[in-house]
Amino acid sequence: MNRINAMYQDFLLIRRKKIIKVVTYIMIPIIVFALIMLYFILEEPRQVYKTLFYISLGLIGTGLLNIALSFLILTDKPMYNIVINEIIKDVNMNEQRFLEYEPFIKEKEIFNLSGLYPRSASKSTKFKLTMNTDHHSQVQLFFTEIFTQSNNSRVVYFKGLYMVFDTLNQDIFQIRRKGKPRHKEIKLIKEEREDKLKFYTQGKPIKETYLLLFESLENQYGKVDIAGAKDQIHVALSNFMKISIEKEINDSVYKKYYDMILSLIKLTDEISEKIAY
């Protein structure tokens, strides 16, 4: 834990030094310019000199504010590049797992396969975790946000844990409470139960296994969407994981995220077993 915290603090320190260095390079000519304007004001107090002088002071103040904010506002990059990465290594060693971890990947097409969310929406993935279970050779887990953004608004369609199980499934379907399919060339038939649960299929009944899985996950975690794609089952959980930016990595913080990864593995194993039959 001490090793991880040292790496974490080093990352933050390097980031602050970079910000200070960049701001300093920008501020030096501005300060020189402000001093020149001040000289002109003292020699001949014309309004144009005063205006340029005050603008220079404003830019200098902005630079100092950025330096101050670099100590107050933390970035999430070291949490994923260092902390979660090192915890995954510890989990692999201690729990005899073979988790493959990739932070900040650019992935889009795999989310479009399910048709759960708009194809054109932006996808911001904090990390991808690849693992196997007793029932599936490969499971891909994404901690991601899917959204659209314009000048005045931001619409979030999904934020949380997105799971992709490689299976023998050949049925295209969706189980969801809200929204509609976003497939490009596939048309699905809508059915709706009395409790407002929606099914979208190609006319073939959805296996009871997936309906029971949806109800179980919804009761336990809240918002969930499930989709069938060719050779895959997609499960999107909105409220399973929350990773915060930490000021330091102490014993309690380390344990919190270590246990979170174990819970993630346990959930993946449970879902894998349920959909295997």
Assess whether 51 and 85 both reside in one domain: no
Strands (E) in the chain, as ranges, are 100-103, 122-131, 139-149, 154-166, 173-176, 189-192, 198-201, 224-229, 232-237
Are residues 22 and 57 located together in one domain of the fold?
A: yes
- Give yes or no: residues 43 and 96 share one domain: no
Checking if the pLDDT of 160 tops 70, the result is yes
Number of domains in the chain: 2
Domain residue limits at 40:
2-72
Q: Are residues 189 and 238 in the same domain?
A: yes
What's the confidence (pLDDT) of residue 69?
64
Region 95-124: what's the mean pLDDT? 92
CA 146/CA 129 separation, integer angstroms: 18
Q: What is the largest CA-CA distance in the chain?
A: 88
Does 59 lie in the same domain as 119?
A: no
The last residue of one of the domains, among 18, 38, 72, is 72
If asked whether residues 88 and 47 sit together in one domain, one would say no
Candidates 163, 165, 181; CA nearest to 231 is: 165
CA distance 135 to 138: 9
Does 143 lie in the same domain as 55? no
Annotate 123-147 with b (16+ C-beta within 10 A) or e (fewer).
bebbbbbebbbebbeebbbbbbbbb
**Across residues 196-220, what is the average pLDDT?**
92
Domain boundary among 52, 72, 92: 72
Same domain? For 187 and 261 the reply is: yes
Per DSSP, helices labelled H in 97-247 are: 109-112, 208-221
Q: What's the mean pLDDT in 21-34?
A: 76
Of 72, 106, 134, the residue at which a domain comes to its end is 72
Is there a single domain that holds both residue 136 and residue 42? no
Strand partners, 176: 198
Q: What is the mean pLDDT of residues 79-98?
A: 92
How much is the pLDDT for 26?
77
pLDDT at 93 over 90: yes
Top mean-pLDDT range of 32-36, 38-42, 221-225, 236-240: 221-225
Same domain as 54, residue 41: yes
Extended strands (E) in 76-138: 100-103, 122-131
List, for residues 32-55, the tens digit of each pLDDT value. 777 777 777 777 777 877 787 778
Q: Which residues sit opposite 125 in a β-bridge?
A: 144
The model's pLDDT over 67-76, given as tens digits with 9 standing for 90+, comes to: 666 555 567 7
Average pLDDT, the chain: 86
- Name the residue with higher pLDDT: 185 or 268: 268
The mean per-residue pLDDT over the stretch 186-207 comes to 89
- Return d(Cα 274, Cα 255) in angstroms, integer: 28
0.75 exceeded by pTM: yes
pLDDT for res 231: 92
53 with 190, same domain: the answer is no
Q: For residues 190-207, b (16+ Cβ closer than 10 Å) or e, as one string?
A: eeeeeeeebbbbeeeebe
The band of 272, judged by pLDDT with boundaries at 50, 70 and 90, is very high
